[in-house]
Amino acid sequence: MKPKLVEEIRAFNRFYTRIIGLVNDHILNSQYSLPEARLLFELAHRPGLTASDLIGILDIDKGYLSRILRRFEEKKLVSKVVSAADRRVVTLALTAKGKKEFEMLDRASDEQVGHAFRNLAEKDGQALVERMIEIRRIITQNKIVP
């Protein structure tokens, strides 16, 4: 890729991460880091995932994931469920407390995006979303994401 294109992609990344507050240690004025919030998101939307599944989905270091999961277990946010079919398989599930925490983060995220783009005209909002969909299509089609 040409250096100018790399420069523009990096500039956009810096621009957008600032808009959605990803440069903070904790997102959405919560106690959670971005990887922790993403982990809660994945477990809320894809029940029955294993730690190996999460490593693949999030492209996260095994040791780092293990530390997060240990903290989540200590805080009673996540529980482990041993498969009845294969006792070697352990799936992860959000507890009631974990679901409540995720719902709080999800609402805060909706509010943050709504607030950040509150002055956008409807047609500009539609154009922005269409371009975001196109960006995701190009990235996915070219297998840029793990």
pLDDT digits (tens, 9 = 90+) for 67-90: 999 999 999 999 999 988 888 999
**Mean pLDDT within 125-139:** 96
pLDDT of 127 > 70? The answer is yes
**Mean pLDDT within 10-29:** 82
Q: How far apart are CA 98 and CA 94, in angstroms?
A: 5
Amino acid letter, residue 36: E
DSSP per-residue codes, 8-43: HHHHHHHHHHHHTTTTSSSSTTSS--HHHHHHHHHH
Going by C-alpha positions, the residue among 68, 80, 67, 77 that lies closest to residue 101 is 77
pTM: 0.86
In this structure, whether the domain defined by 3-141 belongs to CATH 3.20.19.10 is answered with: no
pLDDT of 66 > 70? The answer is yes
Which pLDDT score, from 0 to 100, does residue 146 have? 59
Look at strands 78-82 and 90-94 and give their pairing. antiparallel
